[in-house]
């Protein structure tokens, strides 16, 4: 079927359903079925030869089910995204040292661009000498420039504390955990987020702690027939999250008690930051496992007040607290505010909350089609991303159960499931297009972290997936670059990525697209901090208006499309 026939079919369906909203642009039509896969799995071919181990000994230690996250960030400042992934290790006291893996890995992106523009991804393991192969059981990772030196630093979350690594340039790092004061002592965190809470120009750090757990008092939870399995988090009890205020140059103070108003210990997993109420100050949403999710609303005085329940975001529309894992914020309906997606347990289904612009949310999971289609999956990493560059944010979720699957005798960790890809139909509904996305989507893995970014700088969003007890996956997007796109790196005067900056993409006769610079969201992972916006078939160079994290606004007319452009604060109008 050609593109024209595809358009006609969609138009007919839309008419039968009452018609698409007036704001839906013509490029909202479904892409024609592709002769080639939309995504190709290229991890091994590109040199990302990482296999995760959770250290499982058969004693069902709870932390084993959580990792790994994965980070996409420019470690060496050469303009492309490198890859970091934390590693597990045996948790049993008498673990066989031979089982211990090689630790976390850092892969340098050696992207090759041929004269004809052909791009080939090549990664080189540069862990040795990088300073990143630190001790501990790694779970997730957050990325941000904590000392405003223009180099992206890493916060590696873990069981029994986390570690902060300062980027010293050229892919080398120094462990500054102790000096920074942000080590989350006694904590047990998967996800964290760097966010400038107080608009002082320094990235603060939110750490979502999970449960109070020690291997010495570990327990197993038999199912109804007596089969032992991992316990739910409520068996251990939640740990309070932590907020660290950046005092400047990478020194932090724990301001949890004074700054998080209404904090209760809950089993936190995913974190996403965005300005949900449109006041220009960053807020935080936290996915809690089996307990109400947090919505931390910025009070503009260095504190945040928890308001998930009255905002309609803490629970499902029915009032249930579900097992929230991954979370991300994005303007999926292109109405200018940040909506929220949260992945959940099998039988609960992914939840989609639509924002009314004032941080009041409505659960539209069922109506959107995402809720029903995801019920069979236990979701973890997820993000809003426009995989086909049609100007509407789509959703990918990586999945894996927490109940052992039958007939997986060959697997050390039989908890695998397939991924899900949902295409935004531009009318509030989503279509499950997993089957059309390529053979990589037919693979069943224990997906956990997922990081989203344009690894080959070709204008569409690729995905790197951290699989528990399995190989890392690299899904190279081969469909998005067929349409126009806008790529922006937003930097401060000091050269750092301006996480939290919001971008309005304005084109004559088209609805304004709102996107933001963020590295957080998903699950235990760090995303491309650059801003990507699909433009569909529109070749018009748009006006870009940036609302910086400090509240200032600037605009740039006729910004070039189909290429990556850096916009630095203070150089616009």
Partner 1 sequence: MSTTRLLVALMFIAAAGGSCGESARPGRGPVEVPPLPDLTKLAPSVQTQIRERFAAFTTRAAAGAPDAELSQAAGDVGLLLMAAQFPDAPAPFLTRAEALAPADYRWPYYRAHFHRQRGEPELARAAFERALARQPADVAALVWLGETLLQLGQTDDAKTHFAAALALQPASNSARFGLGRVALAAGDARAAAGHFEAVLARDATAAAVHYPLSQAYAALGDTAKADLHLRQRANHQILPADPLMVELETVLDSPQSYETRGIRALEAKDWTAAVTWFRRGLTLAPENAALHHRLGAALNMTGDRGAARQAFLEAVRLSPEQFLAFYSLGVLDQEDGRHADAIGRFTAAIAIRPTYVEARLRLASSLRRTARAADALAEYRRVLADEAGHAEARIGEAMTLAQLGRDRDAVTALERAHDAAPESVVFTHGLARLLVTAADARVRDGRRAKMLVDALVQQGRTLDLGETMAMTLAELGEFDRAVAVQRDLLTAAERAGLPAVVRRIAGNLARYEARRPCRTPWTEQEWP
Q: Report the DSSP pairing between strands 484-491 and 564-568.
A: parallel
Give the nearest distance from C-beta 443 to partner 1 in angstroms. 19
As measured in angstroms, the least distance from the Cβ of 365 to partner 1 is 8
Hey, which residues does 70 pair with through a beta bridge? none
**4, 129, 185, 222: which one binds partner 1 (CB under 8 A):** 222
116/318 with CB nearer partner 1? 318
Q: Which listed residue (150, 317, 336, 572) binds partner 1 by CB under 8 A?
A: 317
Nearer residue to partner 1 within complex by CB, 62 or 548:
62
Binding window for partner 1 (CB under 8 A); candidates: 175-183, 315-323, 384-392, 477-485: 315-323
Specify the residue, 96 or 406, whose C-beta has the smaller distance to partner 1: 406
Contact between 69 and 157 (Cβ < 8 Å): yes
Q: What angle do CA 84, 88, 91 make, to 5 degrees?
A: 160
Residue 229 vs 478, nearer CB to partner 1: 229
Nearest to 423 by CA among 378, 454, 392: 392
The answer to whether residue 270 forms part of the interface with partner 1 (CB under 8 A) is no
Number of residues that bind partner 1 (CB under 8 A): 49
Residue window 513-532: x/- pattern of binding to partner 1, with contact defined by CB under 8 A: --------------------
Options 2, 33, 117, 407; binder of partner 1; rule CB under 8 A: 407
Q: Is 119 in the site for partner 1 (CB under 8 A)?
A: no
Nearest-angstrom CA–CA distance, 421 and 434 = 5
Residue 320 is a binding residue for partner 1 (CB under 8 A): yes
From start to end of 419-470, where are the E strands?
420-424, 430-432, 444-445, 447-453, 462-467
Question: 18 or 226, CB closer to partner 1?
Answer: 226
The footprint of partner 1 on residues 275-314 (CB under 8 A) is: 309-310, 312
For partner 1, the closer of residues 377 and 518 by Cβ is: 377
Closest distance to partner 1 from the beta carbon of 264 (Å):
5
Maximal CA-CA distance, the chain = 67
The 8-class DSSP code of residue 31 comes to P
Query: Min. distance of Cβ 76 from partner 1 in angstroms?
Result: 40
- Minimal CA–CA distance to 527: which of 141, 40, 41? 141
Distance CA 106, CA 128 (A): 9
From the list 148-156, 261-269, 277-285, 456-464, the region that binds partner 1 by CB under 8 A is 261-269
User: What does the alpha-carbon distance between residue 76 and residue 84 come to, in Å, rounded to a whole number?
Assistant: 12
Say how far apart CA 392 and CA 379 lie, in whole Å: 22
Residue 321 as a binder of partner 1 (CB under 8 A): the answer is: yes
Choosing from 261, 335, 336, 540, the residue that interacts with partner 1 (CB under 8 A) is 261
Q: Any contact of residue 36 with partner 1 (CB under 8 A)?
A: no
- Does position 318 interact with partner 1 (CB under 8 A)? The reply is yes
97: three-class secondary structure by DSSP? helix
Closest CA to 521 of 143, 82, 204, 66: 143
Q: Is 217 helix (H, G, I), strand (E, B) or coil?
A: helix
The stretch near partner 1 (CB under 8 A) out of 18-26, 63-71, 214-222, 500-508 is 214-222
Closest CA to 84 of 155, 147, 183: 155
417-418 and 484-491 as β-strands: parallel, antiparallel, unpaired?
Answer: unpaired
Do 80 and 152 meet the contact criterion of CB atoms below 8 Å apart?
no
Using CB under 8 A as the binding rule, whether residue 234 contacts partner 1 is answered as no
Cβ proximity to partner 1: between 265 and 572 the closer is 265
C-alpha pair distances (Å), 4 with each of 9, 26, 31, 485: 9, 12, 10, 22
CB 383 → partner 1: shortest distance, Å?
22
| Contact status: 411 vs partner 1 (CB under 8 A) | no
* Choice between 119 and 360, CB closer to partner 1: 360
214 contacts: CB under 8 Å, gap ≥ 6: none
Residue 465 beta carbon to partner 1: minimum distance, rounded to whole angstroms: 21
Q: State which residue, 238 or 534, has the beta carbon closest to partner 1.
A: 238
Nearest to 492 by CA among 537, 535, 552: 552
Q: Report if residue 162 touches partner 1, rule: CB under 8 A.
A: no
Phi, psi of 153 (to 5 degrees): -95, 165
Q: How many residues does the chain have?
A: 573
Give dist(CA 81, CA 455) in Å, integer: 6
The SS3 assignment for 248 reads strand
CB of 33 to partner 1, least distance (A): 23
Closer residue to partner 1 (CB): 167 or 350: 350
* Under rule CB under 8 A, residue 402 binds partner 1: no
The SS3 of residue 368 is helix
315 near partner 1, rule: CB under 8 A: yes
Within 342-401, the residues that bind partner 1 by CB under 8 A are: 346-347, 349, 366-369, 371-372, 374-377, 401
Q: Which stretch binds partner 1 (CB under 8 A): 19-27, 32-40, 62-70, 233-241?
A: 233-241
> Minimal distance in Å, beta carbon 335 to partner 1?
17
Residue from the set 36, 406, 508, 573 that interacts with partner 1 by CB under 8 A: 406
For residue 480, what are the contacts with CB-CB under 8 A and spacing of at least 6? Answer: 386, 387, 388, 389, 459, 460, 461, 534
Binding region for partner 1 (CB under 8 A): 212, 217, 219, 222-228, 236-240, 257, 260-265, 309-310, 312, 315, 317-321, 346-347, 349, 366-369, 371-372, 374-377, 401, 403, 405-407
């Amino acid at each position: 079927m050609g593109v024209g026939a595809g358009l006609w079919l969609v138009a007919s369906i839309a008419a039968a359903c009452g018609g698409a909203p007036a704001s839906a642009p013509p490029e909202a039509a479904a892409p024609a079925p592709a002769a080639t896969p939309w995504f190709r799995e290229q991890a091994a071919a590109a040199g990302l030869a990482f296999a995760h181990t959770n250290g499982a000994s058969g004693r069902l230690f709870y932390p084993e089910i959580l990792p790994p996250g994965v980070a996409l960030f420019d470690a060496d400042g050469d303009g492309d995204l490198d890859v970091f992934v934390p590693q597990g290790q045996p948790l049993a006291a008498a673990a066989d040292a031979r089982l211990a893996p090689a630790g976390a890995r850092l892969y340098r992106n050696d992207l090759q661009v041929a004269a004809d523009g052909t791009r080939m991804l090549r990664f080189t393991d540069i862990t040795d000498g990088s300073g990143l192969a630190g001790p501990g059981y790694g779970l997730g990772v957050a990325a941000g420039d904590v000392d405003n030196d223009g180099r992206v630093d890493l916060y590696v979350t873990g069981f029994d504390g986390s570690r902060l690594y300062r980027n010293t340039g050229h892919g080398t790092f120094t462990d500054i955990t102790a000096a920074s004061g942000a080590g989350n002592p006694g904590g047990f965190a998967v996800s964290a987020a760097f966010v400038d809470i107080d608009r002082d120009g320094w990235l603060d750090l939110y750490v979502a702690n999970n449960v109070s757990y020690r291997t010495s008092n570990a327990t197993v939870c038999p199912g109804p027939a007596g089969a032992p399995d991992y316990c739910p988090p409520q068996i251990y009890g939640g740990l309070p999250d932590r907020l660290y205020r950046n005092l400047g140059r990478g020194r932090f103070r724990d301001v949890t008690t004074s700054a998080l108003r209404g904090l209760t210990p809950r089993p936190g997993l995913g974190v996403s930051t965005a300005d949900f109420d449109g006041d220009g100050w960053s807020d935080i949403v936290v996915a809690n496992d089996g307990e109400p999710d947090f919505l931390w609303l910025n009070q503009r005085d260095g504190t945040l007040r928890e308001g998930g329940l009255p905002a309609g975001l803490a629970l499902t529309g029915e009032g249930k607290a579900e097992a929230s894992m991954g979370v991300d914020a994005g303007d999926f309906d292109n109405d200018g505010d940040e909506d929220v997606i949260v992945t959940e347990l099998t039988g609960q289904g992914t939840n989609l909350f639509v924002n009314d612009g004032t941080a009041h949310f409505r659960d539209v999971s069922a109506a959107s089609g995402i809720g029903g289609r995801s019920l069979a999956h236990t979701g973890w990493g997820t993000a809003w991303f426009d995989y086909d560059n049609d100007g509407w944010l789509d959703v990918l979720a990586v999945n894996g159960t927490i109940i052992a699957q039958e007939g997986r005798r060959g697997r050390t960790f039989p908890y695998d499931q397939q991924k899900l890809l949902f295409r935004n139909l531009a009318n509030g509904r989503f279509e499950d297009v997993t089957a059309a996305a390529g053979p990589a989507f037919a693979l069943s893995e224990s997906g956990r972290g997922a990081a989203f970014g344009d690894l080959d700088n070709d204008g569409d969003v690729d995905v790197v997936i951290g699989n528990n007890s399995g190989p890392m996956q690299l899904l190279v997007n081969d469909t998005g670059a067929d349409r126009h796109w806008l790529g922006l790196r937003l930097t401060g005067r000091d050269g750092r990525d301006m996480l939290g900056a919001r971008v309005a993409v304005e084109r004559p006769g088209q609805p304004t697209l709102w996107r933001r610079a963020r590295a957080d969201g998903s699950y235990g992972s760090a995303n491309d901090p650059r801003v990507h916006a699909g433009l569909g078939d529109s070749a018009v160079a748009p006006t870009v208006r940036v609302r910086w994290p400090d509240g200032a606004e600037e605009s740039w007319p006729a910004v070039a499309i189909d290429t990556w452009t850096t916009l630095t604060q203070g150089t616009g109008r």
